Amino acid sequence: MNVLEFKTLLNRLTAYDLDSIRTDLYPEFNSYPVWDTGAKKSQNIDHFVHWVRGNPSRVAAVVDLANKKLGEKAIQPRSGPVPNTHYITWNDFTKLPSYNKIAEAVEFRYDPASGLKNSPITKDGYVSVYAIYNMSAWASWKSSSLSDYERAKAEAVGELRLLDLMQLNEGRIKNQPALFPVGMLR
């Protein structure tokens, strides 16, 4: 594989995917490519190129992981319905008995003045993917609180199996309706 083909393969991945591949390489090689958090994706791809240069086993490992990520992405739903899942309207969501316990987490990082940015509600009135990420960020933040009350609130939000919900909605556009397993949140 030449450098251009290698770069083309890596360009098909997101920056998050590239960082994940970089992290996954450490156990095998006890080192990994440099990663600049604030850098453009192309700069980090250049770090991969420099790291694999002259080492076929590193090239093969990166290509295998990249192809695995691309294969996973190919089968992920991007939009539309998925079997055994459903969308939840915002009105139904706010009527749930547990909503009072999670309301602060759902609206975390949402500023109504900013329009739909990080909105827990989609334009057509469903719970958005942002709502799940907002809850996860809030629960993570509150779980390290010194207050027992705040940690208990974080645990209540954590009971929603947020990691499973984030995996179910991985790759979906954040301002689109979130997928929930049938029977969840009823």
Digits of tens for pLDDT over the chain (186 positions)? 888 999 999 988 888 888 889 889 988 888 888 888 778 888 989 999 999 998 899 999 999 999 988 877 665 555 556 677 888 899 988 888 878 878 888 877 666 655 556 788 888 899 999 888 888 888 888 888 888 888 888 887 877 788 888 888 887 888 888 888 887 665
pLDDT recorded at residue 83? 72
pTM here is 0.54
pLDDT recorded at residue 13? 87
CA-to-CA distance for 115 and 154, rounded, in angstroms?
Answer: 27
Between the two ends of the chain, the Cα-to-Cα distance in Å is 52
Pairing of strands 85-86, 180-181: antiparallel
**Rounded (5°) CA angle 4-50-30:** 125
The answer for residues whose C-beta is within 8 angstroms of residue 76's C-beta and 6 or more apart is 170, 171
Q: What are phi and psi of 146, to 5 degrees?
A: -80, -20
Cα distances (angstroms) measured from residue 65 to each of 1, 5, 13, 31, 154: 15, 15, 11, 16, 34
CA-to-CA distance for 19 and 34, rounded, in angstroms?
Answer: 10
CA-to-CA distance for 182 and 41, rounded, in angstroms?
Answer: 37
The encoded tokens of residue 144 equal 């390290």
CA-to-CA distance for 162 and 67, rounded, in angstroms?
Answer: 27
